[in-house]
Amino acid sequence: MAHAEGRQMSAINCLLNAKKFGPRELLALIIVSLSFAFITFHLYAGMYGHPEAHFYRSLHLTGILLLCFIIFPLNRQSWSDKPNLWTLIDVLCIILTLAMQIYYLWDIDAFEYRQVSPSYITIYDVCMGIILWVLVLEGTRRALGLPMVIIALFFTFQALYSDKMFWIFYGPNTSLKALTLDMYMQEGGIFGMPVGTIASFVVLFLIFGAFMEETGTGRTFIDLALGGFGAKVGGPAKAAVVGSAFFGMLSGSSVANVTTTGTFTIPLMKNVGYPNKFAGGVEACASTGGMFTPPIMGATAFVVAAYLGLPYITVAAAAAIPALCYYTALFATVDFHARKAKIKPLSKEEMPVVKEVLKKGAHLLIPIIALVYLLVVGYTAATACFWSIVGLFVISFFHKESRPGAESIVRVCEIAARATVVTTMACAAAGIIVSSTTLSGVGLKLGTQIVSLSGGQLWIALLLSAILAVILGMGLTTTAVYIIMVVTVIPPIEAMGVPPLAAHMYALFWGVLSNIIPPVAIASFAAAGIAKAGPMETAVAGFRIGIPGLLVFATFVYNPGLLMIGSVADIVINSVGCIAGVVYMSAAIQGYAFEKINPIFRVILAVCSLVVLSPRWDFTFSGMLVGIAIMAFNYLASKKNTVNTKLMGVGKS
């Protein structure tokens, strides 16, 4: 990211702490005012419905660009730093953003008339399209960094100059007018479905998440998890897994989750004896899982629902079992590691009292329950989230500690607006890539190449797709990774017989998991800073911890019951087999369950973890039985050793 969020001063705090009103305070006032207007606009649209798609998305993107060029200034660490000569470019970008919107609004009817064909497009349309293209790329560079910009630049020029390209990138040129029409004037490029999804649904969920965080719901989750699991073996690590899962549902960002929950859980894990890198790895894996954990999940889940034309609740339901299996794998791993390292649980003095936590924060859980209920009974995601926000606002007044003031409300608007800037810029830049690859046909060619390289073997195509997602994830957000895969590898995977929902969820999950897979594991890097461990060693530790969970996403295409596809028997057997498989793999990797595992049994257990994930029921049951036998033998051995140790102690006394 071009500018680290941690270095960005809060605009509302700047105003509250100001002793005089100067240029910095003026900028803070502009940020606060823009954020408040931006969030109010989307809340209004959430209640009454939004206007025509292109008009609504253009207003949304204009607000995002204005905030982006102010919050992420050129050649300054923060908007609060002293302006310099480069600030003139910031001002120019702001003026061009406003000019672009005025041009569109000046005569909307004429603009929409020219959307029909490239032959109707004027030179002014082309100029405005180029200006928007430049503004989006510059905004993306500031908010997300260079990788996304480089990819968008390459595919734009590849579309315009295909006859000068090579390999699959060679082909007939796309005219500048045709590219302008698709990318700028219609709803297939920058103003396409991804930006529309952010504007229609995701903003509201970001508001909800920011409001939940401001009212203390995140801390309530952590305290409940510590109170429930702190006294167990490996208590702090288990609390990190459970607490991060719940908080991750709200934040939708692995890094935000790490920096929020990790500040509580990582020091606790270190205090009871977990190594620094292991504590960071656990938090990174737990926080990443929140991006695909229902009911809220991350922003990408809404884009998946929009691409598939399915209700959001269907996508959330499909993610439920994989998320459960993933967290079961993490839970088992930290449990076995704690037993192996003889890590003690928390003392009563270190643990929150669950009754006290519920007394102070139980009311904050009601809006989440209401959100799930509204989604299940059939309300749209926007409507359900809007009324959940209203409910949270009302309920937060029930307790003094969660009661919001004017300052809190403004801070929520600022936090939500900042989060929306990053997400929207990723989707706008992805829209440039989608438009370019669609017009040039290179997306289809790339998918064809994957099928060709796989030799028609589905497992090879899936492996290549996962590798592509991880490579893209080194520099792109999860949403951007998913959108690129939609126009490249998902169509050929579907053509090989994979159900559309399974193909799209496969792309979603691997895009998310790129956050914990080295060499660029951003969630692990964020956790390493809190754990005071090396970034790469934390990333490697996190990857090792997450391996059992990766099995879930490597196999659900062959076991669609994990996505709620198929008969009840398929769903139950696939789910039980998957849970058994990740537990077996966790024990095999740790070399320990209740007692040290014999090396031969360790290998057999690893094999069983793969066998139970087979789509054949007989293989699943056979693998489960062998694994259960090994785990039972290990448990009995631990009991025998415990008895012998006690007898030896009695004899010595």
What is the mean predicted confidence (pLDDT) over 481-491? Answer: 83
pTM of the model: 0.80
What is the mean predicted confidence (pLDDT) over 365-393? Answer: 85
pLDDT in tens, 76-130: 777 777 777 888 998 999 999 999 999 988 888 888 888 777 778 889 989 999 9
Is it the case that residue 645 has pLDDT exceeding 80?
no
Q: What is the pLDDT of residue 93?
A: 93
CA 464 to chain CA mean position, Å: 22
pLDDT in tens, 254-293: 777 787 777 777 887 887 788 889 888 988 888 888 888 8
- Give residues with Cβ within 8 angstroms of 365, minimum separation 6: 217, 220
As a whole number of Å, the CA-based R_g of the chain is 26
When pLDDT is cut at 50, 70 and 90, the band that residue 629 belongs to is: very high
Please state the length of the chain.
653
pLDDT in tens, 517-537: 887 777 888 888 888 888 888
Which whole-number Å values give the CA distances from 503 to 318, 489, 507, in the listed order?
12, 9, 7
Which whole-number Å values give the CA distances from 561 to 24, 319, 460, 501, in the listed order?
56, 11, 21, 12
Is it the case that residue 437 has pLDDT exceeding 80?
yes
For residue 492, the 8-state DSSP code is H
In 3D space, the residue among 596, 600, 579, 578 whose CA is nearest the CA of residue 587 turns out to be 596
Neighbours of 346 (CB within 10 A): 20
pLDDT in tens, 119-157: 788 899 899 999 999 999 999 998 888 888 888 899 899
Neighbours of 2 (CB within 10 A): 14
Share of the chain above pLDDT 70, in %: 95
Neighbours of 22 (CB within 10 A): 9
Give residue 244's identity as a one-letter amino acid code: S
- Give residues with Cβ within 8 angstroms of 639, minimum separation 6: none
- Dihedral-angle region of residue 309 (phi above 0 means left; psi in -120 to 50 means alpha; beta otherwise): left
Q: What is the pLDDT of residue 418?
A: 86
When pLDDT is cut at 50, 70 and 90, the band that residue 69 belongs to is: very high
Q: What is the pLDDT of residue 2?
A: 41
What is the mean predicted confidence (pLDDT) over 488-516? Answer: 85
Taken in order 590, 292, 421, 23, the sign of the CA dihedral is negative
* Residue 24 or 183, more confident: 183
In the three-class reduction of DSSP (H, G, I as helix; E, B as strand; rest coil), residue 596 is classed as strand
Dump the DSSP string for 13-61. Answer: HHHHT-SS--HHHHHHHHHHHHHHHHHHHHHHHHHH----HHHHHHHHH
pLDDT in tens, 30-68: 888 999 999 999 998 888 888 888 888 999 999 999 999
Say which residue the tokens 């508001």 belong to: 207
295 preceded by a cis bond (ω within 30 of 0): yes
What is the mean predicted confidence (pLDDT) over 539-563? Answer: 87
